[in-house]
Every structure is written in structure tokens, then in C-alpha cells.
Amino acid sequence: MPELPVRCAGIALRNPLLLASGIWGESGESLARAWTAGAGAVITKSIGSLPRPGYPNPTIESYERWGMLNAMGLPNPGIGEYPREIAVALGAGATVIGSIFGGDAEEFASLAVAMAKTGVCAIELNLSCPHAQGYGSEIGSDPAQVEEVVRAVTDAVPLPVIAKITPNAADPAGLAAAAERGGAAAVSAINTLRALAIDVELRRPILAHRLGGLSGPAIKPIGLACVWQIRERVRIPIIGVGGIASGQDVLEYLMAGASAVEIGTQVAFEGIGAFGRIGRELSELLERLGFARASDATGAAHFATG
Ligand SMILES: Cc1cc2nc3c(=O)[nH]c(=O)nc-3n(C[C@H](O)[C@H](O)[C@H](O)COP(=O)(O)O)c2cc1C
């Protein structure tokens, strides 16, 4: 894995390729393996106040060429149990970002306090899961609630706070602006898009929860548009997420305005070897196009269009 150091949200990252929340993050061991494989940082699965089993199966439908539909239902062991997993990842030397989800500002703040004690370097707020009742995008689609949650968390903990923005709203850039007003150190965009798959033989939706979230290559142009529009509205760094499967995809997100990226579905499809491959591709592409550092490419497509 080539060294491509960047700074984002006040964090020094060895490279801009982060493991996205919810993929490979079940255990400390799996987080540690993603780190060893070359991820610039690893983001935990989203952790709530209490253990949650998630939705019944089927929870995932895969489409080989263009992505994946999931309705996991935020399964997690709860903040009481999960710190021991984070300790394992930290023990392996990983840069760990803790992801949390709550039902209101108060719950987010108390989760953040508990998460901060684990030794993570930043906290990502899941304000964007499209299929968990009372959580995620149900809170994160309203700018006033986004600002309130982010402010409560930034007041409660000294760590950088990253607000993860939903694309399932009329104005994702407005949500990012609300997060900036609330004191976020960065925003990440995007989470999955609300989506449905139908089994015609059974005449019913494929996922047990019916509606799910779409990820993978199909959503890359939507993620890019969100990052582009957010860059025009906010000054804090942006972490691009959605459909990244190659070094070129990463560079597209950087040029649209991202300072770093998260990779999820491609890691689920290819395994953690994806980090090394995508890192090498990015490094070669940056060199060929004359960028001395990854950060030099951030926003380049905006400068070109004036
Ligand atoms: C199976 C699965 C589980 C996910 N779980 C979470 C989660 O717990 N918290 C979260 O913020 N995002 C979660 N996501 C969303 C991803 O972090 C990411 O935002 C999204 O999948 C788009 O990136 P990708 O196309 O690279 O997968 C999940 C995605 C998938 C496919």
C-alpha cells in the first residue's frame, strides 16, 4: 500500500481510504485486519445504547455488477459490550473512528461520551441509515435536528465529530451546512439510498424488512453529486462515500471536493485486498496526472469550472 498521507477533520491519516461503517466492522479482529490490509482508518459499525439483533433474514440482496441492497436493521452489541472490540483494533495500531446512532440529541451525546472513552480518534454520527425506524435518516433529514444533534455531541466530547449525511432528502447540502453550524469537524456523504427489490415468483419484496438501502457502483454518481453540492455550501472537509471500487473512483470523489473517502460494498465483494489495489491505482493515477499529493486533487474539478 503506497503512503498517501492526508489530514481530514484534524486527523492525520496514512492514506485517504477509510473502511466504511457496517462492513467488516463486526469485531475488533476484523477491524484490525482491514487496518493491516492498508485502510487509512477503520470506522466501526454503528453502535447504539442497547444490544439490537437487527431485522430477520433475508437482509441482503446482491447484484454483482452494480451493488447491494441491505436492511440489516443496525444490529450491534450495544455500547456496553463493543468497547472491548475497539480495544482489539487499537491494540493492532489501527486508527479507529467510532460510529454511533441514537434517537435524539441526548442519546447521541451520551453515546458519544461512552465512545470517546474507548480511545477512538473521532466520532461519526449515523444520521442517515434509511431503514431504521426512529433513527438515521428519520432524524438526519431535518436540518434543525442535524444541527441540534451535532451541537449536543460537540459540546459533550473533545473529539472531532463527523456527520454522515443522507442522500434521501431534498437538500443534502443543506443538511451538511446544518452539521457545520452545529460544530462538525467534517461531513461524510453518502449513506445508502432507499430502495426495493421484488421477487416476482413469490410476489413479494425480497428483503424481510421490505425497503432497504442501495450501495455500490450504482450510487457513485449520486454520491459525487452530493459531495459536489456540499463542497459549494460548506468549508469543513468532506469524506466521500458511495460506490467506490477503483482508484479512479477515489480521484473522482477527491476532485468533486472530498478530502478522504470510505469504501464499503467493494470490500464486501472483494475482501480487504481492495484497499491495497485501490491505493496502488490511486497512487499511479495521481502521479500520471501530475498531483504530488492526494490533497492537491481535492476540489480540482471545481477550480477547472471556475
Ligand atoms: C451491509 C451494510 C451495512 C451498513 N451498515 C452501516 C452502519 O452500521 N452505519 C452506517 O453509517 N452506514 C452503514 N452502511 C452504509 C455504508 O457505510 C456506506 O455509506 C454505503 O454502503 C455506501 O458506500 P459503498 O457503496 O462503498 O458501500 C452499511 C452498508 C452496507 C452495505
Q: Residue 291 domain-assigned? A: yes
Return d(Cα 150, Cα 189) in angstroms, integer: 15
Q: Residue 1 domain-assigned? A: no
Ligand 1 contact via 191 beta carbon (within 6 Å):
yes
Q: Is the pTM of this model over 0.95?
A: yes
- Tally of domains within the chain: 1
Q: Residue 271 domain-assigned? A: yes
Q: What is the mean pLDDT of residues 123-142?
A: 89
Q: Residue 287 domain-assigned? A: yes
Q: Residue 41 domain-assigned? A: yes
Is a pLDDT exceeding 80 seen at residue 305? Answer: no
Q: Residue 129 domain-assigned? A: yes
CA distance to 4, 57, 276, per residue, from 14 (Å): 6, 37, 13
Q: How many helices and strands, by DSSP H and E, does the chain display?
A: 11, 16
Which domain CATH number covers 91?
3.20.20.70
Return d(Cα 181, Cα 174) in angstroms, integer: 11
Active site residue 8: no
Is a pLDDT exceeding 60 seen at residue 159? Answer: yes
Ligand 1 contact via 223 beta carbon (within 6 Å):
no
Are 299 and 228 in contact by the 8 Å Cβ rule? The answer is no
Residue whose C-alpha cell reads 443496525 in the numeric block: 74
Point out the ligand 1 atom lying closest to the alpha carbon of residue 220.
25
- Measured by CA distance, the residue closest to atom 15 of ligand 1 is 191
Domain of residue 172: give its range.
6-305
Is a pLDDT exceeding 70 seen at residue 191? Answer: yes
The whole-chain average pLDDT of the chain stands at 95
Residue in 190, 192, 194, 207 to alter for ligand 1 test, most ligand atoms within 8 A of Cβ? 192
Point out the ligand 1 atom lying closest to the alpha carbon of residue 136.
11
Ligand 1 contact via 241 beta carbon (within 6 Å):
yes
Q: What is the mean pLDDT of residues 152-167?
A: 98
Pick the catalytic residue: 8, 121, 129, 226?
Answer: 129
